[in-house]
């Protein structure tokens, strides 16, 4: 994003081939970098980091809204509605659908995978957003044709430009077929040939865009059968706690699964989960690919809520109450230990794991953490009280607990996590050696290391050549030492110091200085005396 928004002097940014240190993005994701770079150009000095994240915050909010409306639309289908009572008194279809949509949104918020990746400004979040738009667009057909067409078109185009054109095509084509063969609903209308033609045009637009921008890439990675266990473990924690409810929903609707095309509220989420799990398997078991399955899993989990027994709901409540309360207490204890040194053991553990970290008190972080903890206490009191029954009550504590712990981590522990996981301390070590140098030469560094030097050190990076007064220092990744050591020595570089990343023995930057000091302009010799 920085390279697009602020290209180096004498260079022109190529918005169709975003690159960093001359290396193109292997995912070929264009749209996330366009959005981040566009907001960076509007950012005041010192606010670049926040402004680059604003579009991703908006996409996360759009994901949550799209999931809610998708579950609402699926729950309005007659096949998803409860059986009417003999003498009336059942919930109205719209009220029932709203209750399930609330439950689906809470199930999505509770997923650990969303907390794991939703805060990152990466193509994964934009892919999740646009996959959710495809999901809600297909779910709302044919009731809201115009809005559905806009959502599907924007979703497929955005997902294509976010580095996943094949996934966009599979989701769009498969989802369109599911909606086309679904039985006619008199209340929602029927799919017309014009609707199917529009969906076909949108799929063609996805294919054309990917072909025109050369976005087609097959990154299939073969696996051994042993990797099935790795995929199972990934799904076990990444989709918790929605996956047990999703499985329970499939079990309760198992008879209908034999003719799933008659039940869009089952077939459509299942298709989205199947496509994204398959993409996860074929692309190296990446949790970023599995992120796209969360809206579908949350929708399936929502349809399990009406069938939960009271004892099972109470078990979910007590488990989440104890688990998240313990996690929140542990976060607070470690924070107090960092600030005061008491208790001594947590403080010693922090000093051991993050040597050199100096905690500072932040009134804003403390206030946010305290308000979130008080809100959790009030919510627990409300949940154990006697209130009107609601379908979504069983998901309140899991969702609120996940949000509480993540908020505490991102407020109370944020300085510690930045110190331990970011490249900021590593760049500071480099600056101690290089001083006020405004230009650094590099050789064999990763994109992450290059981005850290550009962002934290605010320096200009230049590919390695012979030493010069303008760029008197060189940095290199230690992992490439065996390949480049002889060449650097031949160019006139000598190792000066090492800057290691905390906790990563294999992630070290080597800092080189010129082997020979620079010569000032030669002074003409004095004339010889007679």
Q: Please report, for the chain, the start and end positions of each structural domain, with discontinuous segments joined by +.
A: 2-42, 59-307, 310-421, 424-514
- Whether 529 has a pLDDT exceeding 60, the answer reads no
Would you state the structure tokens that stand for residue 376, as one six-digit string? 């959790």
Q: Is a pLDDT exceeding 90 seen at residue 224?
A: no
Q: How far is CA 8 from the centre of its chain?
A: 29
Q: Which pLDDT value is given to residue 524?
A: 46
Give the H or E element holding residue 463.
strand 460-463
pLDDT of residue 86: 45
Mean pLDDT over 276-284 rounds to 88
- Does 334 score more than 60 pLDDT? yes
Name the one residue in this structure whose structure tokens are 């989990």: 301
CA end-to-end span of the chain: 68
DSSP SS3 for 456: helix
pLDDT surpasses 70 at 387: no
Tokens 């905390």: give the residue: 502
- The sign of the CA dihedral 410, 411, 412, 414 is positive
Residue 136 pLDDT level (bands cut at 50, 70, 90): very high
Residue 523 reports pLDDT greater than 70: no
Q: What sections of 222-290 are H helices per DSSP? A: 227-238, 242-252, 264-282, 287-290
**What DSSP designation does 438 have?**
S
Mean pLDDT for 264-274 is 94
CA 502 to chain centre: 23
Alpha carbons 36 and 26: distance in angstroms, whole number: 18
CA distances (Å), origin 333, targets 201, 362, 410, 413? 57, 16, 15, 11
pLDDT above 70: residue 348: yes
Instruction: Check: CB of residue 161 under 8 Å from CB of residue 207.
Output: no
The answer to whether the CB of 284 falls within 8 A of the CB of 308 is no
Reported as a single tens digit per residue, the pLDDT across 67-80 is 999 999 999 988 88
How far are the Cα atoms of 11, 409, 439, 462, 465 from residue 8, in angstroms, in the given order? 5, 36, 11, 10, 18
Which helix (H) or strand (E) is 483 found in, with range?
helix 481-491
Cβ neighbours for 36, distance < 8 A, ≥ 6 positions apart: 1, 5, 52, 53, 55, 56, 121
C-alpha radius of gyration, the chain, whole number: 28
Instruction: With cut-offs at 50, 70 and 90, classify the pLDDT of residue 131.
Output: very high
- The token pair that represents 128 in the structure block: 């999740």
Model confidence over 172-188: pLDDT tens digits? Answer: 888 888 887 776 655 55
Helix, strand, coil tally for the chain in percent (to 5): 65, 5, 30
What does the pLDDT read at residue 186? Answer: 57
Token couple for 39: 């907001």
The residue-averaged pLDDT of 426-438 equals 92
What is the C-alpha separation between 54 and 57, in angstroms, rounded? Answer: 5
The pLDDT value recorded for residue 66 is 97
Place of tokens 């929140």: 328
The DSSP line for 17-75 is S-EETTEE-TT---HHHHHHHHHHHHPPTT-HHHHHHHHHHHHHHHHHHHHHHHHHHHH
Query: What is the mean predicted confidence (pLDDT) over 483-488?
Result: 87
Mean pLDDT of the region 96-100: 93
Provide the mean pLDDT of the chain: 86
Q: Which residues have CB under 8 Å from 242's CB, separation 6+? A: 107, 108, 110, 111, 294, 297, 298, 300, 301
Q: What is the pTM of this model?
A: 0.89
């Amino acid at each position: 994003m920085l390279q697009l928004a602020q290209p180096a002097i004498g260079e022109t940014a190529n918005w169709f081939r975003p690159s960093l240190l001359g290396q193109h993005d292997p995912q070929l994701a264009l749209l996330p970098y366009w959005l981040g770079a566009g907001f960076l150009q509007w950012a005041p000095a010192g606010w670049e980091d926040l402004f680059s994240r604003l579009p991703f915050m908006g996409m996360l909010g759009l994901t949550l809204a799209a999931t809610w409306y998708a579950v609402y639309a699926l729950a309005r289908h007659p096949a998803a509605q409860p059986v009417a009572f003999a003498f009336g008194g059942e919930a109205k279809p719209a009220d029932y659908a709203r209750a399930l949509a609330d439950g689906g949104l809470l199930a999505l918020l509770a997923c650990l995978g969303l907390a794991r990746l939703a805060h990152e400004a990466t193509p994964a979040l934009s892919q999740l957003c646009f996959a959710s738009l495809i999901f809600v667009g297909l779910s709302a057909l044919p009731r809201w044709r115009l809005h559905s067409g806009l959502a599907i078109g924007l979703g497929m185009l955005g997902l294509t430009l976010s580095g996943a054109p094949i996934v966009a095509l599979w989701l769009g084509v498969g989802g369109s077929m599911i909606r086309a063969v679904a039985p006619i609903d008199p209340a929602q209308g029927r799919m017309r040939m014009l609707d199917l033609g529009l969906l076909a045009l949108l799929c063609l637009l996805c294919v054309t865009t990917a072909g025109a921008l050369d976005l087609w890439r097959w990154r299939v990675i073969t696996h051994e059968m042993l990797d099935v266990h790795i995929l199972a473990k990934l799904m076990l924690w990444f989709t918790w706690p929605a996956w047990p409810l999703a499985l329970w929903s499939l079990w309760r609707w198992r008879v209908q699964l034999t003719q799933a095309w008659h039940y869009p509220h089952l077939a459509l989420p299942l298709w989205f989960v199947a496509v994204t799990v398959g993409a996860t398997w074929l692309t190296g078991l990446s949790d970023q690919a599995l992120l796209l399955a969360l809206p579908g899993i949350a929708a399936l989990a929502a349809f399990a809520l009406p069938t939960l027994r009271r004892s099972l709901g109470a078990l979910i409540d007590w488990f989440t109450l104890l688990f998240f309360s313990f996690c929140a207490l542990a976060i607070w204890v470690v924070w107090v230990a960092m600030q005061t040194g008491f208790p001594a053991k947590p403080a010693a553990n922090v000093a051991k794991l993050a040597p050199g970290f100096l905690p500072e008190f932040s009134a804003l972080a403390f206030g946010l953490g305290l308000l979130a903890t008080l809100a959790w206490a009030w919510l627990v009191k409300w949940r154990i009280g006697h209130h009107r029954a609601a379908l979504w009550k069983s998901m309140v504590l899991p969702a609120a607990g996940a949000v509480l712990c993540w908020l505490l981590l991102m407020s109370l522990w944020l300085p510690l996590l930045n110190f331990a996981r970011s490249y900021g301390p590593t760049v500071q070590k480099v600056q101690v050696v290089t001083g006020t140098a405004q230009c650094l030469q590099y050789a064999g560094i990763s994109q992450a290391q290059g981005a850290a030097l550009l962002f934290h050190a605010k320096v200009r990076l230049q590919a390695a050549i012979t030493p010069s007064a303008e760029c008197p220092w060189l940095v290199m990744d230690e992992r490439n030492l065996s390949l480049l050591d002889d060449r650097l020595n031949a160019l006139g570089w000598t190792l000066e110091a090492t800057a290691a990343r905390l906790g990563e023995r294999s992630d070290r930057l080597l800092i080189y200085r010129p082997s020979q000091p620079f010569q000032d302009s030669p002074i003409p010799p004095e004339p010889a005396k007679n």
